[in-house]
Structure 1
Amino acid sequence: MYTFFAGIALLIIGYFTYGKFVEKVFGVKNERDTPAYVNADGVDYIPMSTSKNSMIQLLNIAGTGPVFGPIMGALYGPVAFLWIVIGAIFAGAVHDYLTGMISIRNRGAHLPELASKFLGKVMKHVVNVFAVLLLLLVGTVFVSTPASLLHVLMNGKVALGIIIGAVFLYYILATLMPIDKIIGRLYPYFGALLLISAVGVGVGLVVTGAPIPELSLKNFHPDHLPVFPLIFFTITCGALSGFHATQTPIISRTTKKEKQGRKIFYGMMIAEAIIAMIWAAAGMSLFGGYAGLNEVLAAGGPGAVVSEVSVAMLGAIGGTLAILGVVVLPITSGDTAFRSARMIIAEYFNIAQKKFSSRLWIAIPLFAISVVLTQIDFNVLWRYFSWANQSTAVIALFVGAMYLYVAKKNYFISLVPGTFMLVMVITYILNAQIGFNLPMNIAWVGGSIGTAILLALFFVAAKKNRANHLPLDEDISDWNRVA
């Protein structure tokens, strides 16, 4: 268990050390008014407490990612721990923090608007399509996933269609209602359930002496599996995920002071990584090895693993509560996925969202498309989503790097992980069957060359932006105050 405990310890230390360093590099201005006050509209821009914002942020970014992803990643062995820890501290938490804080400095803008400002107007349209597609896929899949888990939990006594309808109804209400009416009130309870279930499983692993494997040179590359770059597309939300960049602006519009950003954005990514560590450890240790885990996954998917682990660690009642904690994850990301999609579309077409009718006319087409998508097999689409998800993370990291470069600050904290993942996303799509299906050695060469070209273009644009004194932070005196 040394690797497991060391990983948890490093994540906590990372929050108090590297998280503090990233905050210092960015340079918070606690006296500066935030969009929650300046743009208050009673719908999306509403000041909320740090604890409430933190819990909403954790549930927004989580989905099933810190559970299902690490369970699948457990097939790679203890190297999964390595990616979760390093990825969360130096990539995922930096990604979330910079996205959230730059959004706060720019009226709570979403990623397409930020990409337009810092990477060029063409990127606004590209990222807008990417973001809305990602959110529709996430929202749709997170209708069927919790519905299926609840259907199993109820032993099939309630028809799956009825459960799906109930989830859709909740999503519609959460998407249209002011954020403090449903999300702000329910998420603290949902969050408590999630954390209690994760801690319960973690304690159970320790108390029962589960044989959590240690990282070594021998198992670093188990059974000669192609760990790189596949592991970066298997474990996403627990380490680095572009989906988070679509969620952080929701909370950038409800944050009271910039000083709260480290706890809300950086801290909740670290919390998610700890949850991912627990479920990865459970997957590695409770099924008699990787072959046993693979059998359970083949028979019932990650949901079956969650069910068996929860009952084994916590008993029938505790296991049921733990499963409910996992059910909460997709629901609390599905609702904010649709909410983010509405906000991004409204921002793109400059449609004010204070009126209920304005929100409704954007939401109706979104849910209509989602209902159609629930009838489609998502196996292939979800593979594209994994690639698009990490591509979005790269864009967000380069937005952060551009911001810091123009500000003459340490842009390497964002550029290094962004460049690393850029190599991975290009290499992956060149090698994958859903992409160009090239041999891996050629894919690596193509990924390296493509990254070098894009990196050169980044520096050309960055030097031009710095020379032209690109305004980084919008002047709050010019922000429209909405009564």
Structure 2
Amino acid sequence: MAWFLMCVAALVGGYFIYGAFIEKVFGVNENRKTPAYTKNDGVDYVPMSNKKVYLVQLLNIAGVGPIFGPIMGALYGPAAMLWIVLGCIFAGAVHDYFSGMLSIRNGGASVPSITGRYLGNGAKHFMNIFAIVLLLLVGVVFVSAPAGMITNLVNEQTNIGLSMTTMVVVIFAYYILATIVPVDKIIGRFYPFFGALLIFMSVGLITAMAISSEHSLLGGYEMSQMFTNMNPNDLPLWPALFITIACGAISGFHATQSPLMARCMENEKNGRFVFYGAMIGEGVIALIWCAVALSFFGSVEGLSEAVANGGPGTVVYNSSMGLLGVFGGIIAFLGVVILPITSGDTAFRSSRLILAEYFNMEQKTLRNRLLMAVPLFVVGGILTQVDFAIIWRYFGFANQATAVMMLWTASAYLLRHNKLHWVTTVPAIFMTTVCITFILNNSQLGFGLPMTLSTAVGLISAFGITALIIKRSKGKGETDLADEESGELEAAK
């Protein structure tokens, strides 16, 4: 129990100490009008209260990633908790803060436009393609995962015989509606209820785990095992752990979501609470599920057997029912199901806005919103027929690669403004090394090269990119592109 509380305390302390430092490095301007007011269109640019924006941001970014990822990461032992804490404070929350604040400073722009402004047109075109691919993968993952979980729950508790296809259709129908209606009509209105389920799930599970006489919270592990790879399948901790646990530590998907709330934020001073703070909240969720996964099944071997017999969804179901009983377990389980649904709808919404930005098509009229949204749902529907494990595998790598691009974009911004760029450059170097090493070493997705060679190439590439970014960006003395009257971006340089 002490380990878990120490980890949570570290995350909270990180928000107040390192989060305040990051805010100071960026330099907020409380007197600058935000895009919510300068570009208010009643659809995507709509001022919303600070608390509501925070809750929507948290639910947007917290899909199945901070649940399934930590469960799979727990197979490596308590080292997973260490990465969640350090990754969240020094990489993930920093990444989310800059992706949101740079959007505000650039008229509510999506991540490809922001990347293009600070890294050039080539990076912009790359990110347009990469972001759409990532968001489609996210949308598909966040259809398949909740559909499967709801189907299993209903069929376990009743004799209805609900089919997976039926649930996919229902969830897709909701996504279509949430993608095209004004942001404050569904997302802004129903998320508080979803948030209540999330809080019950999080607090209920960890409390039940702490007071359980049958299951000891992290009681079977020693502190020294924080630095030990305990994977029963002999999978290497480096670099797989940092790809497996994505959303609970750092996630490029968040860079596509932060602009949604950047378009609704009332004041720049709210950025730390909304962007940095929501990531800390997601880190706590990830810690809860990592601790439950490590403790409920008694050992990593027991967890591995549970995952093999039904995947992380089965782990969620068994632990929820086992700790909270049928009624409490169903509510907690629904709290888990809500997370991917509240991220899937905004994934498709973000895709629509990125495409609209690329084609320079206004989104105030319903016809234009449908023109952008319908093709996305057609492709998404086709992808739901692909095996979930394959989609998840590609999602993990694409997710972290997108985070790398956003971190380098933030570094270029800081360099251009002669600010302390190392707060984003150091995590960018680390995550670049992780991604390159993974794709070179992994035999299923990549090239199957030896680990030593893959790591060496990853390090050399990361430091080479660092030198290039510094050379191209340092000392340009550029002013912020927050034109409150027009909110338009200059041509990417």
Query: TM (normalized to structure 2)?
Result: 0.94
Match of 1:251 among 253, 261, 266: 261
- How many residue pairs get matched? 477
Contact 2:106 2:487 in 1 (8 A): no
3-state SS of the aligned residue for 1:475? coil
Per-residue CA deviations over 1:18-54 (Å, capped at 9, x if unaligned) read 1111111111111110000000000000000111111
Q: Does 1:221 align with 2:225?
A: no
**2: CA distance, partners of 1:219 / 1:286:** 21
**1: CA distance, partners of 2:173 / 2:451:** 45
Match of 1:459 among 464, 467, 470: 470
The alpha-carbon deviation at position 217 of structure 1 amounts to: 5.0
Structure 1's consecutive aligned runs of 4 or more residues displaced over 4 angstroms after TM superposition are none
Tell me which residue corresponds to 1:203.
Answer: 207
The alpha-carbon deviation at position 2 of structure 1 amounts to: 2.4
Tell me which residue corresponds to 2:459.
Answer: 448
The alpha-carbon deviation at position 225 of structure 1 amounts to: 4.0
**1: CA distance, partners of 2:331 / 2:486:** 49
3-state SS of the aligned residue for 1:228? coil
The alpha-carbon deviation at position 219 of structure 1 amounts to: 5.9
Taking the TM superposition and a 5 Å limit, the aligned residue runs for 1:34-433 are 34-155=34-155, 157-208=161-212, 210-212=216-218, 213-216=221-224, 220-222=228-230, 225-433=235-443
Tell me which residue corresponds to 1:470.
Answer: 478
The one-letter code sitting in structure 2 at the alignment partner of 1:391 is A
Contact 1:391 1:422 in 2 (8 A): yes
Question: Against the structure 1 CA distance between its residues 125 and 98, is the aligned structure 2 distance closer, same or farther, given a 3 Å change threshold?
Answer: same
Tell me which residue corresponds to 2:491.
Answer: none
Contact 2:50 2:265 in 1 (8 A): yes
Per-residue CA deviations over 1:312-359 (Å, capped at 9, x if unaligned) read 111110000000000101100100000000000000111100000000
**1: CA distance, partners of 2:283 / 2:113:** 28
**2: CA distance, partners of 1:460 / 1:190:** 46
**2: CA distance, partners of 1:108 / 1:72:** 35
Per-residue CA deviations over 1:203-238 (Å, capped at 9, x if unaligned) read 111112624034315862225641111100111110
Identify which range, 49-58 or 378-387, moves more after superposition. Answer: 378-387
Identify which range, 469-478 or 33-42, moves more after superposition. Answer: 469-478
**2: CA distance, partners of 1:14 / 1:273:** 11
Contact 1:2 1:214 in 2 (8 A): no
Identify which range, 271-280 or 157-166, moves more after superposition. Answer: 157-166
**1: CA distance, partners of 2:344 / 2:81:** 27
The one-letter code sitting in structure 2 at the alignment partner of 1:472 is D
**1: CA distance, partners of 2:228 / 2:361:** 51
**1: CA distance, partners of 2:226 / 2:16:** 32
**2: CA distance, partners of 1:264 / 1:364:** 30
Question: Against the structure 1 CA distance between its residues 218 and 276, is the aligned structure 2 distance closer, same or farther, given a 3 Å change threshold?
Answer: closer
In the alignment, structure 2 segments of 5+ residues that lack a partner are 489-493
3-state SS of the aligned residue for 2:305? helix
Identify which range, 347-356 or 216-225, moves more after superposition. Answer: 216-225
Taking the TM superposition and a 5 Å limit, the aligned residue runs for 1:432-443 are 432-433=442-443, 434-443=445-454
**1: CA distance, partners of 2:54 / 2:482:** 25
Query: TM (normalized to structure 1)?
Result: 0.96
The alpha-carbon deviation at position 253 of structure 1 amounts to: 0.1
**2: CA distance, partners of 1:217 / 1:143:** 36
Contact 2:417 2:478 in 1 (8 A): no
3-state SS of the aligned residue for 1:352? coil
Contact 2:69 2:248 in 1 (8 A): yes
Per-residue CA deviations over 1:254-297 (Å, capped at 9, x if unaligned) read 00001111111000100100011010001001112111111110
**2: CA distance, partners of 1:214 / 1:119:** 45
Question: Against the structure 1 CA distance between its residues 393 and 219, is the aligned structure 2 distance closer, same or farther, given a 3 Å change threshold?
Answer: closer
Contact 1:100 1:249 in 2 (8 A): yes
Contact 1:39 1:45 in 2 (8 A): yes
Contact 2:75 2:303 in 1 (8 A): yes
**1: CA distance, partners of 2:163 / 2:408:** 46
The one-letter code sitting in structure 2 at the alignment partner of 1:395 is M
The alpha-carbon deviation at position 159 of structure 1 amounts to: 2.7
The one-letter code sitting in structure 2 at the alignment partner of 1:256 is E
Contact 1:3 1:214 in 2 (8 A): no
3-state SS of the aligned residue for 1:375? coil
**2: CA distance, partners of 1:479 / 1:217:** 51
Question: Against the structure 1 CA distance between its residues 218 and 269, is the aligned structure 2 distance closer, same or farther, given a 3 Å change threshold?
Answer: closer
3-state SS of the aligned residue for 1:17? helix
3-state SS of the aligned residue for 2:372? helix
**2: CA distance, partners of 1:384 / 1:307:** 25
The one-letter code sitting in structure 2 at the alignment partner of 1:105 is R
Contact 1:70 1:276 in 2 (8 A): yes
The one-letter code sitting in structure 1 at the alignment partner of 2:32 is R
